Amino acid sequence: MSTAFGTRLREIRKRGGHTTVSAAKALCVSQPTYNTWELGTREPNIEKLLAICELLDTSPNELLGFEAPTPGTAVTTGANSPIISGNGNSVTIGAPGSPGTARPTRKRK
């Protein structure tokens, strides 16, 4: 992660009306731990990353700086990195050239 992640996290948190104190409390972490995520000096584990997305009503793609997949398009992070693609009903995650694993998308509130 980087300061870009922290900046996005801070912007999305503020957009949702949370303070660092309320976000840390809702995520069951200390405020100093949460602050290190926004400063970009540490990163949350995958479970906390998903909990952050749930709390702030955002997607991992937005939080990590990817554009949200649109139907029939794919987002990649590099030549040999996983591909995330979607068609509006499911999301496929897999390595380039592999069939991937389709997962149903969750309807947003």
DSSP string across 44-102: --HHHHHHHHHHTT--HHHHHTPPPPPTTEEEESSTTS-EEEE-SSEEEEE-TTS--EE
> Does 60 share its domain with 30?
yes
6 close to 49: Cβ distance less than 8 angstroms: no
- Examine the pLDDT at 27 and tell me if it is beyond 70: yes
Q: What pLDDT does residue 71 have?
A: 47
User: Which DSSP symbol is given to 40?
Assistant: T
Of the two residues 74 and 7, the one the predictor is more confident about is 7
CA dist 35 and 42 (Å) reads 9
pTM (two decimals): 0.60
CATH number of residue 44's parent domain: 1.10.260.40
Of the two residues 56 and 99, the one the predictor is more confident about is 56
* Rounded alpha-carbon distances, angstroms, from residue 78 to 20, 43, 81, 96: 32, 21, 5, 10
> Does 59 share its domain with 12?
yes
CA dist 107 and 109 (Å) reads 7
> Does 12 share its domain with 59?
yes
> Does 7 share its domain with 53?
yes
> Does 19 share its domain with 46?
yes
pLDDT digits (tens, 9 = 90+) for 45-98: 999 999 999 999 999 988 888 855 444 444 444 444 444 445 444 444 554 555
Instruction: Report the candidate in 58, 66, 64, 60 with the shortest Cα–Cα distance to residue 13.
Output: 58
Q: What pLDDT does residue 3 have?
A: 81
- Examine the pLDDT at 18 and tell me if it is beyond 80: yes
> Does 54 share its domain with 94?
no
Looking at the structure of the chain, the number of domains it has is 2
Q: What pLDDT does residue 39 have?
A: 94
- Examine the pLDDT at 109 and tell me if it is beyond 80: no
Domain-located, residue 109: no
> What residue numbers bound the domain in which 89 lies?
73-104
